[in-house]
Amino acid sequence: MNSEAVTVLGSTGSVGENTLDVISRNPGRYRVTALTAHRNVERLAEQCVRFDVQLAVIADPALENELYSALKVLGANAAVMSGQAGLVAAAGLSEVDIVMAAIVGAAGLKPTLRAAETGKKVLLANKESLVIAGDVFVKTARINGARVLPVDSEHNAIFQAMPGGFEEGLEQAGVEKIILTASGGPFLNTPTAQLSQVTPAQACKHPNWDMGRKISVDSATLMNKGLELIEARWLFNAHPGQLEVLIHPQSIVHSMVAYRDGSVLAQLGNPDMRTPIAHALAWPERIEAGVERLNLAQESDLSFCPPDFDRFPCLGLAFEAMRAGESAPVTLNAANEIAVEAFLDERIAFTRIGSLVSEVMQCLEVSAINNLDDVLMHDKLARSKAMELVK
Ligand SMILES: NC(=O)c1ccc[n+]([C@@H]2O[C@H](COP(=O)([O-])OP(=O)(O)OC[C@H]3O[C@@H](n4cnc5c(N)ncnc54)[C@H](OP(=O)(O)O)[C@@H]3O)[C@@H](O)[C@H]2O)c1
């Protein structure tokens, strides 16, 4: 079997590192061609040496020389690029077969879209791309023959629970409902009165998953589940009424699909991102992921309950944005990115995240999205409104 060439966008992050771990457990099957990071020059350079890559990209242009020097010291052969142009180049390299899209936030949109434009197998972790530009992204992938495989554990689970495919539509596949499970995050049982006092460190300490800081805060507010609803809407061509959220604190059932005949198919596993990463990398085959095996005899307590929308207002806002469509999810996402950054910098309280997103959504009217420029314009508008409110 010929090895497949892989670009990892966001290789220094949690999903990026896990991807390289899975690749290293399957020698000869993949070769890593390009890696990208935002500012972590040291880690990126180490990875470039370890995987002998051809292209290293640092998103912050001010660090290009530093990366060049770091690679030279380590004796690496990689060419160096920077900025959005570098990220887009890494995503579209003609010799690359697979692109892991694991940049966090809307910053991942253009390179992820480039991977779709160039017909790659796109392993999609960067949910924000679909949240803000779902229609543009799905059409671009379809026109260019790109195969989009979900890496988010819930969407990967849903994909696995539809073994007959869903290309002809959910109706045709007999699907009644898609049920996304949510752990509820670190504050599932914290008294509501204490939520305004929680710190970034507490919010980033997820009970089951080890993830980057932004998605950890999103998991604590349940905005992550809201973004996932919108992601699922585009990935599976679902209408809002077909999507539900169920709290499942143990994170063993990663999501479910309910069928017309009463069957419910679920995918289970220990909470370790290497399972969905390995699944998407090798699909339709199965490869070693280094994941601890699930022992259901030790999981005596698998519980489920509906979400509490008063405790987690961000989930309600995301449902609202999904139903409104057009620019509403762009506004939701941009305002959330600004609010989460402000919370992580200790400029606003945890509970202000939801109210700030809500205020930005109320201020900005929902308008039509026809192309990428419309997306970028609304993203910018919502960011500046959110920044004004943070001040
Ligand atoms: N972590 C998980 O378990 C998980 C699960 C499901 C889905 N996801 C999704 O996967 C994506 C990545 O999450 P993560 O947890 O891996 O994030 P992370 O640990 O924060 O890593 C983010 C990666 O993106 C790079 N990056 C950050 N800002 C950038 C920018 N402006 N331009 C270019 N690159 C940038 C970072 O580089 P530096 O290291 O240099 O900052 C890093 O390589 C997110 O969309 C998240 O929602 C994550």
For 168-185, how does the pLDDT look when each residue is reduced to its tens digit (9 = 90+)?
Answer: 999 999 999 999 999 999
Compute the average pLDDT of residues 218-230.
98
pTM of the model as a whole: 0.97
Cα distance between residue 120 and residue 117, in whole Å: 8
> How much is the pLDDT for 300?
79
Q: What is the mean pLDDT of the chain?
A: 97
Residue environment code for 325-335, b if the CB has 16+ CB neighbours within 10 A, otherwise e: bbbbbbbbbbb
- Regarding the beta carbon of 47 and ligand 1, being less than 6 Å apart is answered no
Strand, coil or helix: 244: strand
Cα distance between residue 290 and residue 25, in whole Å: 7
The yes-or-no verdict on residue 197 having pLDDT over 80 is yes
Ligand 1: centre distance to CA 35 (Å) = 13
Kindly state the tokens that stand for 342: 């402000």
Instruction: Tell me how many degrees the CA angle 248-250-256 measures, rounded to the nearest 5.
Output: 45
Residue pointed to by tokens 């992050």: 13
The yes-or-no verdict on residue 1 having pLDDT over 90 is no
The yes-or-no verdict on residue 241 having pLDDT over 90 is yes
Question: Phi-psi region for residue 262, left (φ > 0), alpha (ψ -120 to 50) or beta?
Answer: left
Task: Write the residue with the smallest CA distance to atom 38 of ligand 1.
Answer: 38
Task: Write the residue with the smallest CA distance to atom 21 of ligand 1.
Answer: 13
Structure confidence at residue 321 as a pLDDT band (50, 70, 90)? very high
Residue pointed to by tokens 């679920």: 266
196 C-beta neighbours (distance < 10 Å), count: 10
> How much is the pLDDT for 246?
98
Ligand 1: centre distance to CA 299 (Å) = 30
- Regarding the beta carbon of 125 and ligand 1, being less than 6 Å apart is answered yes
DSSP E strands, the chain: 4-9, 30-37, 55-58, 79-82, 98-101, 121-124, 147-150, 175-182, 243-247, 253-259, 264-268
Ligand 1: centre distance to CA 134 (Å) = 19
Contact 186, 305 (CB under 8 A): no
Ligand 1: centre distance to CA 103 (Å) = 4
Q: Which residues, including other chains, have CB under 8 Å from residue 221's CB and lie 6 or more apart?
A: 185, 312, 314, 350, 353, 354
